[in-house]
Structure 1
Amino acid sequence: MTKDQLLTRLSSTATAVLTRRRVLLAGAAACGAAGTAGLLTPGSGGEPVPPSPPAAGSQARPELKPSAYRLQPLTGYGPPRVEPARALVRREPFLRLSGRGSTMVLTFDDGPDPRYTPHILDTLAEYDVRAMFFVCGEMASYHPDLLVRMADDGHVVGNHTWSHPLLTRLSRGRIRYEMERTSDLIEDVYGERPQWFRAPYGAWNRAAFQLGAELGMEPLAWTIDTLDWTRPGTRAIVGRVEHGAAPGVVVLSHDAGGDRTQSVRALRDYLPHLLDCGYHITVPRRQPV
């Protein structure tokens, strides 16, 4: 074979090799283009399109599902509900409260009643005085707006049971029901659980003291009973308050449970007189355990 023939054969072989390489490269490019075409389709604005699901059959891989754990919402970020602080179980209620200077506490039972409670609240607001309202849950459930106003005006709301029963005639379970249901309502409407309770008719027993303590409440009675529920006349109510006034005294009046017109009028009379005499009308603070 001549030199020219040898060079010609070598040139043809190199050309064939180069051509085969180009074919392989072109094929790979075509496969890549086809794969890309499966993710980006014309008219989609360049948005990715998920590949089609695998064909059904024995060789099809099962569809992967997201973890159930990841789908569960996260919880526990809200503030925990604070359980009421356990109070000391007492054997008798507080009859008066200690305080600095000539302090007195005004308390009103059995409400709220829309016929009388708003007038009492108006008088207290006029003289910028805070008082205590021992409410019955049943009454409060009918007039929650009055509990809201008590909270807005800075008054203390106490527990006077749900239906004003004689506790000494009830079972322990029933006493708990009367107290706890009322505390729950006060918390929902007033904004916090009551820290004080008063037995209807002043009739206390061991179960009442124990259950009140379990619910985080202290028992409060009174020093002066105005006997306004007997409707003795406005002047008689005023006289009892003014004659019994002294530091630490707790005054019992009513804003519901009957005609309380005399109670409303009496408050308008004796409240400014007590303030003029130097008494500081306030609300109690919890006694140290």
Structure 2
Amino acid sequence: MIRRIKLPGWIVIILLLAGITFGINQVVAKVLEESPETNDSNEAKEKVTESSVYPGLNIRTVTKETNLYTLAVSQPYTEKSQINKPINEWVDKQKKEFTTGVKKSKKMLKKNGFRAHLNIQAETEKIADKIYSLQFQAYQITSGANGMTKMKSFVIDLNQNKLLQLDDVFRLNKNSIQDIQKMIRNKLHSNEKISFYIFDDELEKALNKPNNWKWSISHKNVTFYFNEYEIAAGAAGAIKVEIPIKEIKPYLNEKFAKKINVKLPEKENKKEEKEQHTDDYAKLDPDGKYVALTFDDGPHPEVTPRILDTLKKHDAKATFFMLGSQVEYYPEIANKVEEAGHEIGNHTMNHQDLTTLGLPEIKKEVQNSSHIIENATGQTPSLLRPPYGAWNDNVKQVAKQMGRPMIMWSVDSLDWKSLNAKAVNKKVMANVAPGSIVLLHDINSSTADALPRLLTSLEQQGYQMVTVSQLFELWDKKGAGPYYGKVD
């Protein structure tokens, strides 16, 4: 027998049902509020595609479109979880940052009818059998302001089923790290499109953390990546620094170089390692007698080869401060200087008095010369000698920004004035002292005439001829300078 519910009972039941309905609505509203999608979540369109890129390497691409955002993510993966994990973690981090940004901007996105966007693309390159380089670029924008670009790279060795670390690819030690840092620094400051935007303090912070470097390698280049705003103003964007294999191969791990078929002839290795000041380089004796001979204004098609021959006979090293305009005419002579193991410095493009120029013109003089020298020799000049030895605050500022110390001299041979071999020798020997930097020019035949006797005289007094950078290592010099060498 069913008992009838009296009026007060119905009121209680109605109130309970209303409470339950309200609670359910609150939960649903909360869920929708936390989702980056609109209330019309069933309108979201998602597409997943799979493809095989290389043996053992696949890629999954997800595209998604909602009323609030669009998304396109390409994500390489392998059969090995230890390889996939760090890749997935980085991609997931970008997606989480994007989702958080969409939540914060939800009201504004709805109001303005603007859709947020996330795009993660991965370029893959085969380096060797089952060794691949992955370069990620993630761009996201969640409001009407500028978006943000981030870079990441991974090098995969499926033969070993691992992600390669920096020390798997390079022979890392204090000196090699310093040399690679110098290469990166010089490349950045010689790029006139971005050098103006570089924050030197932030650059140094990034360079001083090799474990955090983002890098990839191919048969042509080693590339280092910097996120937007990481080392420069936003106008520079995300930055790639490409260093040719020719320049960086002395630092490659021998086993890895063999895997990617980069040949490192023993003779070439020893020469380049010596030039790049690795641990195998003979350290200078703090009590030794050293002098740095420097040659300006070349290369010259007749004089420079004569000077190279004489230096070779005496097993002497020197520093050649070259003009970009001369290297343009005689690139093969400049390359012979590099091949002989000598140091190449920058003497600007056209030998103008830099103190008469503004900052942009000074940068242009140095950068143009640097590009030409690098293209001809594969060596990036790390030292700057201002023409006429003339400098002011603007010149020093450019030298500091570009990471290139200004090198002057403590002994002037006056070879340009006397044009006489005996006079050159007499002038140098009367003023030379341990640690001297001697100014000569490899455009005068009289200087080439003077050099055999000059080297013999210096050797008889116990001097060893070294590069300017070797003196700097001995003295532990840093900064823009100017540096003049030592006088008696």
**Deviation by residue 1:55-107 (Cα, 9 ceiling, x = unmatched):** xxxxxxxxx9987969974263799972339999xxxxxxxxx9541100100
The partner residue of 2:466 within 270, 282, 285 is 282
Q: Secondary structure of 1:114's partner? A: coil
**Deviation by residue 1:33-75 (Cα, 9 ceiling, x = unmatched):** xxxxxxxxxxxxxxxxxxxxxxxxxxxxxxx998796997426
**Deviation by residue 1:116-156 (Cα, 9 ceiling, x = unmatched):** 11100110011111000000001011111122111111111
**Deviation by residue 1:251-277 (Cα, 9 ceiling, x = unmatched):** 101012xxx111111111111111121
Structure 1 stretches lacking a partner, 5+ long: 1-63, 89-97
Greater strand proportion? 2
d(CA) in 2 for partners of 1:189, 1:277: 36
- Within the alignment, does 1:114 sit opposite 2:301 as a pair? yes
Structure 2 stretches lacking a partner, 5+ long: 1-48, 52-60, 62-71, 77-120, 126-134, 136-152, 156-168, 170-179, 190-199, 202-284, 480-488
| Partner residue in 2 for 1:82 | 184
- Within the alignment, does 1:246 sit opposite 2:433 as a pair? yes
Distance 1:100 1:185, change over 3 A: farther
Retained in 2: the 8 A contact 1:198–1:221?
Answer: yes
Q: Which has the larger radius of gyration?
A: 1
1:225 counterpart letter in structure 2: D
Q: Secondary structure of 1:192's partner? A: coil
| Partner residue in 1 for 2:453 | 269
d(CA) in 1 for partners of 2:305, 2:379: 21
d(CA) in 2 for partners of 1:214, 1:184: 17
d(CA) in 1 for partners of 2:408, 2:328: 24
| Partner residue in 1 for 2:100 | none
d(CA) in 2 for partners of 1:218, 1:232: 29
Retained in 1: the 8 A contact 2:294–2:319?
Answer: yes
Q: Within 5 Å, which residues of 2 pair with 1:187-226?
A: 187-226=374-413
Which 4+ residue blocks in structure 1 deviate beyond 4 angstroms? 64-73, 77-81, 85-88
d(CA) in 1 for partners of 2:409, 2:286: 15
Retained in 1: the 8 A contact 2:338–2:379?
Answer: no
Distance 1:278 1:176, change over 3 A: same
Normalised by the length of structure 1, the TM-score is 0.67
- Within the alignment, does 1:102 sit opposite 2:289 as a pair? yes
Tell me the CA shift for residue 288 of structure 1: 3.5
2:184 counterpart letter in structure 1: V
Task: Return the structure number with greater relative CO, CA threshold 8 A, min gap 6.
Answer: 1
Tell me the CA shift for residue 182 of structure 1: 1.2
| Partner residue in 2 for 1:134 | 321
**Deviation by residue 1:189-216 (Cα, 9 ceiling, x = unmatched):** 3223222111101111111111112112
Retained in 1: the 8 A contact 2:344–2:379?
Answer: no
| Partner residue in 1 for 2:341 | 154
| Partner residue in 2 for 1:47 | none
| Partner residue in 2 for 1:27 | none
Q: Secondary structure of 2:185's partner? A: coil
1:275 counterpart letter in structure 2: E
d(CA) in 1 for partners of 2:450, 2:305: 15
Distance 1:101 1:65, change over 3 A: closer
d(CA) in 1 for partners of 2:286, 2:406: 17
More displaced 10-residue stretch of structure 1: 279-288 or 103-112: 279-288
Distance 1:137 1:246, change over 3 A: same
| Partner residue in 1 for 2:368 | 181
Count of matched residue pairs: 214
Task: Please report the RMSD computed on the Cα atoms of aligned residues, expressed in angstroms.
Answer: 2.9
Q: Secondary structure of 2:381's partner? A: coil
Distance 1:135 1:100, change over 3 A: farther
Tell me the CA shift for residue 231 of structure 1: 3.0
d(CA) in 2 for partners of 1:125, 1:175: 35
Distance 1:276 1:171, change over 3 A: same
